[in-house]
Chain A
Amino acid sequence: MHIPLSWYLILAAALFCIGLFGVMSRKNAIAILLGIELMLNAVNINLVAFWRYLDPTKMAGQAFAVIVFAVAAAEVAVGLALIISVYRRRNTIIADEIDLMKW
C-alpha cells in the first residue's frame, strides 16, 4: 500500500503542535525543553519525507536531518546544563520564577 506524502506532513504538523503546546503550557523548564525537542523532530519528519518523495537522488534532506539531530543534541546539553545551574542557584526550575532580567 502506497502512503501519500500528505500523511507524513499531517503527522509532522500534529507533532509540531503537540510540541508547541508543551512549550507554551508547561511551567517546568525541562518540559519546555521536551516540547522543543518534539518540534525539532516534527521538522525532521518533514525534511526526510520531502527528500524521499520529491527528489530521492539528492542527499540534502537526509543531511539536513542529521545536522538537526546534532544541533538538537548540543542544544539539549547546553539547555540542561543551564537548567541545572539555575536550579543550583535559585532552587527552582519553574520558568516564570526565573525573572531576574524583568524590569
Chain B
Amino acid sequence: MTNWIIWLIPLPPLLAFFVIILFTNKNRALSHGLAVGAAGLSFLGSMAVFVQALGIPEFGRQVFESSIDWLPTGNTWLQIGVLVDPTSAVTLFFVAITILMIFIYSIGYHNFGQPAGDHDVKGLPPHGASVTDGHGHKHSVPSIEPMYSRFFAFIALFAFGMYTLVVSDNLLTLFVGWEIMGLCSYLLIGFWYGKPSARDAAVKAFMTTRVGDVFMLLGIAFLYSATGTLSFGVIFQPKVLEALASTPAFFGLSAAGLIGLLLFIGTVGKSAQFPLHVWLPDAMEGPTPVSAMIHAATMVSAGVYMVIRMFPLITAGWSEGMPLNPTMSTIAFIGTFTALFAATIAVAQNDIKRVLAYSTISQLGFMIAAVGIGAYVAAAFHLVTHAFFKALLFLGSGSVIHGMEHGVLHTGEHVDPQDMFNMGGLRKKMPITFWTFLIGGFALSGFPVLTAGFWSKDEILADAFGNGHLMVFITLAAAAFLTAFYTMRQIILTFFGEPRTKAAGHAQETPLTMTVPLIVLAVFAVGYGWVGLPAWFTGGLVPNWFHEFVGGTLAEMPAVAPFSIVPILTSLGVALGGLFFGWLVYRRVESPEKDFLQIPLLKNKYYFDEIYDFLFVRPAAWVAEKFTYLFMDRMVIDGFLHAIARFALFLGHAFRDYIDKPVVNELIGDGTGKVVKGSGSRLRKIQAGRVQYYMVVSIAVLVVVALLYYLLHFLMA
C-alpha cells in the first residue's frame, strides 16, 4: 500500500502540467487550482509515507522499496523503482512542504484577481494597470501576470522532476528527474523572455549545469559498466562497494573514488559550487517563486541530495577516524572554499535576491563540506533546515519586492524595487513579512538555541572539529561569521531606519496567499531544529531523533561527534558576533557611498563572469564563428557540397553536348525523321493517283519477278 503511494507521489504535478498546457491555459483560476491541487495531493502522499516511516522502528533496516523490470539489457533487466529510506523520507518531508507553500505563494505573487495590465505583453513582467475608483480617482495597481497559467504548468513539471528524483531507487530515474528540473529551470529563469538579461541567464544556467551533467552521466556510465546495475540497493551492498573500492581506476583513484568524483561534478553544477557557481546569481532573473523553488526547495537541494545518497560509494573503503580519501578531500575542499568564497561576495551585493543567491551558494558549500568530511547526518540536517529557511527568505524577499513594486506604482517613482538601498523602514509597512523574514534571517545566521540553522550548522562545525579537520572548521566558522554579518546587513537595510525612497514609504503588505506560506515556513525554520537537538543540550533526556533516524540509512550508524565546548562557543560567537557587528556597521549606513564594503573586487564577484567570458565564452564564440562556421561549414562542408554539385553539372553538360545532342537528337531523332521524309518525298512520285498506272506498275513488277525467277531457275538447273 505504502509502495503504491510512493509510486504515485510524482504523478499529480505531471498530470497538472499536461492538463494546464493542453486544456486550461485560458482559465487562470482553474490552472492554479489544478497546480496547487496536484501539489496538495503529492503533499498528502508524502506526509502519509513520512508518517508511516516514523512508525517503523529501525526504519533504516526495513525501508519501503518496490521496483519493476523496465528495459531489457540482454539477459538481464534494467530495473527502475521507488525507494524511501530515512534520508529520502526527511527530504520528501521538506520538499513536499516547501513546494506546496511556493505554489500557494505564486498565486499572490502573480497578482491573481488583479485587472489585466494596460500595456502588459507576454514575456515581460506586468507593469501595472490603472483603475478608476468610486470617487473618480485614478490609481495605478499591480496587474496580473500575462502568462499566468503557463507559470503554474512549468512549476508543476518542476515539482514532478523533484519528486521523481527523491523517490528514485536508482541513478537512472534520478538523472531523469535531475534533467527535467534542468529543463524547467531554463524555462522558468527565462520565463520573462522579453528581457534580454533573463534570456541570457536562462542560457547561462542551462549551459553551466550541463557541464556538470555531462560528467555526472560519465559517472553513471562508468558505474553501470563496473557493476551492471544502477539501483542503490545493489550498489550499496558491502561486497559491491568493497570491489569498487579495491578496483584501481585512473589518476591513483579507485573505481569508487572516480565514480564518486564524476557524480560529484554533477552536484557542483546543480548545487552551484565553485567553479560552476556563476549561473545561480543570474538565475534571479526569474520570478521570485522560481528563485525559491530553484534555490531552496528543489534544484540545488537535488545536487546535495544526490551526493548524500552516494555517500556510501564516495566513502567506500573509508571509516570514521581514518584520513579522508582523495574524493572526500576534493569534496571537502570545494565545499569549504565555496562556503567562504560565496559569503565574501554576498556582503557587497545590493540586490536583495542576489544576497540570498550567494548565501545559498555558501550554505550549500557547508553541506558539501559536511559530506566531504564524512558528516553524513549533519549534511542531511543542514539540507533540510536550509531548505525551510531559505525558501522562507526567498519568498520573504519576493514579498518585499512585491510591496516595493506596489509603492513604485503608487508613487510613480522610478526606482529599482530590488535594491536594498531604496528600501528602509519596511518593518512598519509590512509587519508579517518583516517578522517572518527576521526569523528566516536569524535561522540563516544560526541565531543560538532558538533557530534551526543554529543546530544544523553547529553539527557541521562540531563534526569538523571533532574529527580533526581544523582547516575546514576555521574556514566554515569564518563563513558562518560572514553569513550572520550580511544577513544583519540585509535586515537592517531593508526593514530598519527610515524609508529612503517614496516608493518604500508607500510599500504595502502583501495578500494572504503570500503571507500564509511565509508563516508556515517560519514555523519550520524555527521548529525543525528541535528534532535534531544534540545530547549535550538535552542532557541525554531526549535522544537526537534526527541523528538516530537519518543515521539509520547507512549500514553502520555514524558516531556522534565527541562533545567539545570549542565548536559550540564558536557557533555562538560567530552567529552573535556577526549579527552584532552587522548591526553596528549598518545601522547608520544610508547610501552605497557610505558602505565600506562596496569594493569593486567583491561587487564584481571576483570578476568570475568576466574571466569565464574571456576563457570560455569568447573562445567558444570565436571557434563557432571562425572555425565551425567560416572554416568547417562554409569552406569544408559547403566546399565539398559545391564540388559535388559542380561535378554533377559538368557531367550533365558532357552528357548533353556529347551524347544527347549529337547522338540522341541528331542521329536517332532527326536522322530517322530525315530518312523517312527523304524516302517519302522520293516515293510519293509513284503515287500518281491513276489506277491503271498502278496496275501497269504491278504487272511490270510481276513480269520482272517472273522473268528473274525463270532466269534463276534455269541458271541453277
Contact = CB atoms under 8 A, between A and B. Distances in A.
Interface of A: 20, 23-25, 32, 95-96, 98-99, 101-103
Closest 7 pairs between A and B when the two form their complex, measured CB to CB: A102-B689, A99-B689, A95-B691, A103-B684, A24-B692, A96-B690, A103-B687
A32 B684 contact: no
A43 to B, nearest CB: 15
Contacts of A95: 690-692
Nearest to A95: B691
Contacts of B692: 23-25, 32, 95
B702 to A, nearest CB: 11
A21 B541 CA distance: 153
Nearest to B689: A102
Contacts of B690: 95-96, 99
* Centre residue among A20, A99, A101, A103 by max chain B CB count within 10 A: A103
* Centre residue among B684, B687, B692, B699 by max chain A CB count within 10 A: B692
Contacts of B691: 32, 95, 98
A98 B684 CA distance: 18
A102 B695 contact: no
Contacts of A96: 689-690
Interface in B691-713: 691-692, 695-696, 699
Given A99-B690, A101-B687, 6 more contacts: A24-B695, A24-B696, A32-B691, A96-B689, A101-B689, A102-B687
A102 B696 contact: no
B688 interface: yes
A25 B684 CA distance: 24
A51 B444 CA distance: 140
Contacts of A23: 692, 695
A102 B688 contact: yes
11 contacts: A23-B692, A24-B692, A24-B695, A24-B696, A95-B690, A96-B689, A96-B690, A101-B687, A102-B687, A103-B687, A103-B689
A103 B687 CA distance: 7
Contacts of A24: 692, 695-696
A25 B696 CA distance: 10
Nearest to A24: B692
Contacts of A102: 687-689
A60 B69 CA distance: 97
A21 to B, nearest CB: 11
A81 to B, nearest CB: 17
A31 to B, nearest CB: 11
Contacts of B688: 102
A20 B703 CA distance: 14
Interface in B661-704: 684, 687-692, 695-696, 699
B90 to A, nearest CB: 110
Contacts of A101: 687, 689
A83 to B, nearest CB: 12
A96 B692 CA distance: 8
A27 to B, nearest CB: 8
Contacts of A32: 691-692
A23 B687 CA distance: 19
A24 B688 CA distance: 15
A96 to B, nearest CB: 5
* Centre residue among B684, B689, B699 by max chain A CB count within 10 A: B689
B681 to A, nearest CB: 10
Contacts of B689: 96, 99, 101-103
A95 B688 CA distance: 12
A24 B684 CA distance: 22
Contacts of A25: 692
A98 B691 CA distance: 9
A83 B442 CA distance: 130
B579 to A, nearest CB: 123
Contacts of A20: 699
Contacts of B695: 23-24
Nearest to A99: B689
A23 B695 CA distance: 8
Interface string B252-270: 0000000000000000000
Contacts of B699: 20
Nearest to B690: A96
A2 to B, nearest CB: 30
